[in-house]
Amino acid sequence: MDHGKDLSRDFIRVVRLLMVALTASVALMAALIFWAGQIWSGKAPEAVRKPERTLPPAAKVSEFWRPPDAATLSNKAMLEQVIYGRELIAHTARYLGPEGSVLKISNGMNCQNCHLDAGTKTFGNNYGAVSSTYPKFRARSGTVESIEKRVNDCFERSLNGKALETDSREMKAIVTYIEWLGSRVEKGAAARGAGLVKMQTLERAADPARGKALYETQCVVCHGKNGEGLKMPDGKEYQFPPLWGQNSYNHGAGLYRVSTFAQFIRANMPLGATHDNPVLSEEQSWDIAAYVNSLPRPGKDVSKDWPDIALKPVDHPFGPYSDPFSEAQHKYGPFEPIRKFYADKKSK
């Protein structure tokens, strides 16, 4: 056999294969460069064009609202405001609590105890729709409210404290953070997944006794037998907030409405629950909310709330009302008879 000729033929085949591979690589590279240029110039077909970074209004898409990425903020001053604002929401007590480093104006809870994950969790009472819907008229005050007013409502009610000065560094940072979170939501649109998950009302009254039994099996490990919560090792803020007692939210807080608290529980409690993977049933959530809100907590003068009493929610627990139902029924239900009363009254 002529091994020299065989080696020569093998060498030629290898060279040809290498040439084919090189040609294909050059062609592929040319194609990539061409399409990159087309995409950059905006001339590429829709099938290959990179989608816009700006999200469409949340109310018009199926995806849940998601917070923007702080890494995209090129304005250094705004980035600093956003970071400080988030820190104030996540660790309010460190700055503004009983041992706060800036002011001592609140009860030791953090804003994110009610607005989970610093106001970003889906159906965790997040801030996704705040920027797009404020300023807005709120029947509770009977006025058009700014974001600053809404923030101070939380300080005075949920944190059982004092209002921040609207021109303070802290208020400006909190408002900047909240507005940034909703910056990709079209004005007037409702971000999907913002606020709390909706639930059906019970046909019966929510039952504090049933709720107590559930609390003892589902909630005690984090919030304590006496609802006292659990503080962080340094004692400056709560890892798990108190649910009643002098360090909890007062009678004027939104969570003092049983329906609001039940919605919060359903999608978020116990720890690890989500809106699409709840642990407790709707009925159980109602009963736990009834139990927690049956227990002592700080008071709040709510006599000026709901100046038009006809606009009070059916589960607002304080009179007067423009109907014949008791405060107990307005607090715990059943609510359908109250709704029917107003529906009949409106139809006449």
CATH number for the domain spanning 124: value is: 1.10.760.10
Give yes or no: residues 222 and 343 share one domain.
yes
CA 261 to chain CA mean position, Å: 14
DSSP single-letter state for residue 273: -
Distance in angstroms (rounded) separating the CA atoms of residues 303 and 306: 8
* % of the chain surpassing 70 pLDDT: 82
Q: What is the mean pLDDT of residues 150-173?
A: 98
The dihedrals phi and psi of 344, each to the nearest 5 degrees, come to -65, -40
Of 181, 216, 244, the domain-final residue = 181
User: Could you tell me if 212 and 172 lie in one domain?
Assistant: no
Q: How far apart are CA 158 and CA 152, in angstroms?
A: 10
Q: Is the pLDDT of residue 51 over 50?
A: no
- Are 337 and 284 contacting, i.e. CB atoms less than 8 angstroms apart? no
| In-domain check, residue 245 | yes
In this structure, is residue 35 part of a structural domain?
A: no
Query: Please, which residues have CB within 8 angstroms of residue 303's CB and are 6 or more apart in sequence?
Result: none
Q: Indicate whether 239 and 121 sit together in one domain.
A: no
| Farthest CA pair distance, the chain | 113
pLDDT of residue 348: 81
C-alpha torsion 100→103→105→111, nearest 10: -60
Number of C-beta neighbours around residue 303 at 10 A: 8
Window from 13-27, 118-132, 209-223, 269-283 with minimum mean pLDDT? 13-27
Angle at 28 between CA 24 and CA 33, to 5 degrees: 150
The helix (H) or strand (E) run that includes residue 144 is strand 143-145
* Predicted confidence (pLDDT) at residue 314 exceeds the cutoff of 50: yes
pLDDT at 327 over 90: yes
Looking at the fold, whether 177 and 212 belong to one and the same domain comes out as no
Is the same domain home to 116 and 226?
no
H-helix or E-strand spanning residue 231:
strand 230-231
Find the mean pLDDT for residues 161-184.
97
- Among 317, 298, 215, 196, smallest CA distance to 249 is for 298
| Residue range 175-204: mean pLDDT, rounded | 94
218 within a domain of the structure (yes/no): yes
Cβ 48 vs Cβ 41: under 8 Å: no
Q: Which of 181, 198, 233 is the last residue of a domain?
A: 181
Phi, psi of 137 (to 5 degrees): -75, 130
Q: State residue 124's pLDDT score.
A: 97
Cβ(105)–Cβ(248) below 8 Å: no
CA-to-CA distance for 118 and 90, rounded, in angstroms? 5
171 and 233 housed in the same domain: no
- DSSP string covering 202-218: PSS---HHHHHHHHHHH
Residues 215, 306 within the same domain: yes
Tell me, yes or no, whether 288 and 233 share the same domain: yes
The three-state secondary structure class of 176 is helix
Residues 82, 172: one domain?
Answer: yes
Element (H, E) at 94: helix 92-96
132 plus 94 within the same structural domain: yes
pLDDT of 42 higher than 60: no
Residue 151 phi, psi (nearest 5)? -60, -45
Could you give the number of structural domains in the chain?
2
Q: Report yes or no on 28 lying in a domain.
A: no
Kindly state whether residues 157 and 275 are assigned to the same domain. Answer: no
**The pLDDT value given to residue 308:** 96
Contact 166, 173 (CB under 8 A): no
Find out whether the peptide bond into 334 is cis, omega within 30 degrees of 0: yes
- Specify whether 337 is located in the same domain as 213: yes
What pLDDT score does 131 carry? 96
Residue 190 pLDDT level (bands cut at 50, 70, 90): confident
Residue 54's pLDDT is 34
Which domain range does residue 107 map to?
64-181
Residue 286 falls inside a structural domain: yes
Give percent of the chain above pLDDT 90.
80
> What's the start-to-end Cα distance of the chain, in Å?
111
pLDDT higher than threshold 70 for residue 103: yes
Domain edge (last residue) among 181, 197, 221: 181
User: What is the Cα–Cα distance from 258 to 336, expressed in whole angstroms?
Assistant: 15
Is 301 contained in some domain? yes
In a domain, 33, yes or no: no
In a domain, 166, yes or no: yes
